Amino acid sequence: MLTNKSILITGGTGSFGNTFVPMTLAKYNPKRLIIYSRDEMKQWDMAKKFQGDPRVRFFIGDVRDRERLYRALDGVDYVVHAAATKIVPTAEYNPFECVKTNINGAMNLIDACIDKGIKRVVALSTDKASSPVNLYGATKLASDKLFVAGNSYAGGHETRFAVVRYGNVMGSRGSVIPFFMSIRDKGVLPVTDERMTRFMISLEQGVELVWHAFDDMVGGEIYVKKIPSMKVTELAKAVAPEARVEFVGIRPGEKLHEQMISPEDSFYTYEYPEHYKILPAIHNWDTTTERIKDGRKVAEGFEYSSDNNPEWMSTADLQAWIAANQHKIGNI
């Protein structure tokens, strides 16, 4: 589907973009892959990796800037929306800025994609958008709703929108694994609560979920990857077996367990071998066999959260992953 096509990724210099771009170039050989973001230094650093590859283009711009989006989307076939204000405390202390990027930016992109005749758009979501308790999660829930409704907003246009949702990305910038690795020499690792659990997904799995969404979507679906969970105390043990764990208390806006599908979503959720799919609640779209395909309806009240997950990652599994990915942890 993506072969010889033009693809634009918003927020493309982030952790996801730095994995999506090389994987997509290798697998699909697109005609153009445009990185749209607002940080010129990150673009400069990223451009060095793809020097001499005429398929990779860079476009300075902000999703808050509707006119700039219209220009960037000229001749584009597919869009991945990865731009976001995503650090939870940053969002809490700068709520207006978070809303401008995560909600207004989504509205700008939806409008521009419809008007420019983009074929398909996949937006990245987060576990924090399910039953949100912080502003970041609330803005991403609003964004998810905008992209789902964008399919009817498109009217007679052919543009279709879908969403992918996943949890803690192992080894990404600012996440817990590189943080623990950076302080393990001190012999003490701070953990907020001994009961805390997290979903574990690699960036490569996240990219593959986006590819699957492009291939499978009819419009309005939220794709949730089946991934293992891990107790944060076990994660700490995997990173620094000799270190002592110190419990420091849960932080504002933080959950004990990550949730990706709420019991309220269960009425519209279908299960597949490697993922779940939440179908839209509006317009009776959830009843269409075209969207359901070979899915099996989950039980009423079903919840997919990191504490009730049937699949768990062992300490040995995480240590093997860290050993294989040592060179890029914290740099992606």
Catalytic residues: 128
Q: Determine the straight-line distance between the first and last CA of the chain, rounded to whole angstroms.
A: 26
CB of 259 within 8 A of CB of 298? no
User: Which residue's entry shows tokens 């799919």?
Assistant: 277
CB atoms within 10 A of CB 8: 27
Residue environment code for 300-330, b if the CB has 16+ CB neighbours within 10 A, otherwise e: eebbbbbeebeeebebeebeebbeebeeebb
**Residue 169 DSSP label:** B
Residues pairing with 259 in the sheet: 305
State both tokens at 127.
């576990």
**Largest Cα span, the chain:** 61
Residues 163 and 143: their CA atoms lie apart, in Å, by: 10
Residues 330 and 324: their CA atoms lie apart, in Å, by: 14
State whether the Cα torsion 115-119-125-130 is positive or negative.
Answer: positive
Burial group, residue 25, by CB count within 10 angstroms (0-12, 13-18, 19+): middle
280 backbone dihedrals φ, ψ, rounded to 5°? -65, 140
Radius of gyration of the chain (CA): 20
Region of residue 201 (left: phi > 0; alpha: psi -120 to 50; beta: else): beta
Residues 90 and 297: their CA atoms lie apart, in Å, by: 38
